[in-house]
Chain A
Amino acid sequence: MEEDRKNDWLISQSLERSLSIISAINRVSIFLKLRSVGIRESVISEQVDAARKLLIQFLIALSAVVERAAESEDKIAFGADPRLSTLARKFLELSAQGGGVVPFSAEELKEMKVLLEKGETADDNVLAKELGHLRSVLELHSQADAAIVFNEV
C-alpha cells in the first residue's frame, strides 16, 4: 500500500529476477570455461541443466518483450512489468546504436537461446562470450534496482 520504494514489490521482484539470471549465466559460463581447459567438475550437471533451463526461459520471455516493444509505436511491451520493459528498451537502444556496444537484438537473444539448447554441440567460446555480454547488461540493470532496495539513493 505504501509508496516507500525500498519495499516496492516491482523493484524487489526485478532485483531477485536479475540475481537469479546472472547466477545462472555464471553457472553455465564457468561450466563452459572449465570444459574448454579440460577440467571436468565432479559436481553437478543438474545445476548446470537447471541454469540452462532458466536462461532459456528468460531469453524466450525477454526476446518476446523486446519484439513487442519493437512493434509498438511507443516502444511499449504490453503486459510486461515496467522494469522488464526498460531492460527490453535497453536492448533496442543498444541495437539501434549499432556501435557494437552490446551486440544484441531480439534475433541475437534467440540465437543465444539456440546455442544454450544445443548443449554439448554448441561452440563453447561463442556462447561464453555472449553470456558475458548479457551479464554485463543485467548487472547494470540489477545495480539500479539494488540501489533502491538497499536505500542507496
Chain B
Amino acid sequence: MRIRETLRRKNQDLKQDLENVKHIVSIARIVEELEPYRVALLTRTLDLIDASRQNLAWLDIEDDILLPDVLSETFILLQRVRLIKLRYLRGLYRTTNWDRVCLQTIAWVHRRHEQTVTYPAVFADDDVSTIPSKGLPFYFFPCLEQRGLRFQPLFFHEFGHVLYKCHEQELDSLVGDFQQIVEAELLPASQRNDQYAQEQARLRQSIVETWYKWVQEFFCDAVGLSIGGPCFLNAFSDYIGKLQTTDYFRQASDLHGSSHPVSCLRLKLLAERAERAGLGRDAENVVRNWNDVAKLLGVSEDYQGFYTDLIKTSLVQTVDDMLVEASPYQCSEDDAAGLGWEGRPMNLIALLNEAWVKFTEDPNGFQSWEAKVLEETYGL
C-alpha cells in the first residue's frame, strides 16, 4: 500500500531531523547556566527518536489495521518535531554570554519554589511571555531588556503562569467560582427567548470565558509583586505602559476572548495591592504617572461591561486565595529596600530593587552603575 511507504519515508525524515537536532544540541557552546536545559532537551529529543523508531516498527507489521493509528502517531511526531525546531532549539541555538542575566533570574525563581526546583532555565528572544509547560517551561524576553537588570522582575509575572500550571486543579476551581460571580453580577440572564436573547447568551459566554484568562493574568501580576516587591511594580508599570489610549480603553470587540485585561485596570489593582503590602509610595508614584498620561491623552477608563466595582471585592479575594494556594516567594523588607544584595549567594531580589532605587534617583548615572554590577556580579 502506498500510504505505508509514505508514512515510512516521513518517519525516516523526522528521525533524521531529530538526529540533526541531537547533534546541534550536543555540540552547542553554551553558558553553564544552560547545561540543565541541554540535558532536558537531549532527553526529549531521544524520546522522539524512539517514537520514530516505534512508528517504523509498527509499519513493518503487514496488517493494515494499524495504519490509521500510525498516521496519527506520525502527525503527533511531526507536531512535536516542529515544536523542537521552532521553539525549543531557539533557547540554545543563539545563546550568548549575556543570557546569564536572564538565566540566573529564571533559575533563581525556579529554585525558590519546591514544585519547580528541578526545572531548567531557558528563554528565547521575543516579547515577554511564557509557555508554562510542567517540567520544561519556556520563557521569552526582548533582546535589549535581556542585557539589563531593570526589567528582569517581569520574569516573576511569567513564573506566575508556571505556578498556576503546578496548582491547576485548585486554582481552576477558584477561578470557576469567580466566573459564576461575574455571570451573576455583570450579566443578568435575558428573560426573552428570541434571536436577541441568543446574542446576549453568546456575549455572556464570551465575557465569562474571557475572565478565565484575565483572572490568571491578575494572579500572575500579584505573584510578580509578591516575589519582587517594588521592583516588580516599577518594571511592570514602565513596560506595559505604551502611552496610548488602548492602555486605558479598548473596544468591546477587542476585549472578547482577549488574553489580557486593559492595562490600566491591571496597574491600578496592582498598585492597590502594593499599597496594602506597605508599598504606598511606589504605588502612588506609578498611579500618578498613569493618571498624568491619561489626562494628556484625554481618555478615561472604560471596561465595556467586562469589569465594574461590583466584582472588585470578589476579584481581589479570589486572587488572595490563589496566592495562598500557590504560595509564591514573599519579598522581605530588606529585599524591598535593596539591602544586602552583595552577599554570597547574591540576593537577587535585593539587587533588582536596588537597581530601581538607583534608576529612580539618578537615571543618567544608572547605566554606569549597572555596567559595573553586571561586570562584577555576572562576569559580563
Contact = CB atoms under 8 A, between A and B. Distances in A.
A12 B201 CA distance: 28
Interface in B46-62: 58, 61
B289 to A, nearest CB: 18
Contacts of B245: none
B177 A79 contact: yes
A86 to B, nearest CB: 9
Interface in A13-54: 13, 15-16, 19, 22-23, 25-26, 29-30, 33-34, 36-37, 39
A139 B131 contact: no
A39 B201 CA distance: 52
Q: Contact residue range for chain B?
A: 35 or more
B131 A12 contact: yes
A75 interface: yes
Contact of B213 (A10, A29, A76): A10
Contact of B86 (A2, A13, A74, A150): A150
B66 A34 contact: yes
A79 B132 CA distance: 18
A75 B175 CA distance: 17
A4 B72 contact: no
A39 B61 contact: yes
Interface residues of A, number: 42
A76 B65 contact: no
Contacts of B69: 26, 29-30, 33
B178 to A, nearest CB: 9
Interface stretch (B17-25, B32-40, B110-118, B202-210): B202-210
B242 to A, nearest CB: 11
Contacts of B66: 30, 33-34
A78 B240 CA distance: 29
B79 interface: yes
Contact of A4 (B65, B79, B86, B127): B127
B175 A74 contact: no
A16 B253 CA distance: 28
Interface stretch (B99-107, B226-234, B255-263, B274-282): B255-263
Contacts of B172: 79-81
Nearest to A73: B189
B165 A82 contact: no
A146 interface: yes
Contacts of B257: 82
B194 interface: no
A135 interface: yes
Given A10-B213, A30-B58, A78 B208 contact: yes
Contacts of A135: 72
A149 to B, nearest CB: 8
B218 interface: no
Contacts of A19: 76, 79-80
B127 A1 contact: yes
Contact of A132 (B68, B165, B174): B68
A82 B63 CA distance: 40
Contact of B201 (A8, A23, A73, A139): A73
A97 interface: no
Given A9-B131, A30-B69, A82 B212 contact: yes
Given A10-B259, A85-B209, 6 more contacts: A3-B258, A7-B140, A13-B133, A29-B69, A80-B212, A139-B75
Nearest 7 A/B pairs, CB to CB: A79-B176, A2-B127, A78-B176, A7-B129, A82-B209, A1-B128, A78-B179
Interface of B: 58, 61, 63, 65-66, 68-70, 72-73, 75-76, 79-80, 82-83, 86, 126-133, 140, 154, 157-158, 161, 165, 172-177, 179-180, 183, 189, 201-202, 204-205, 208-210, 212-213, 239-240, 257-260
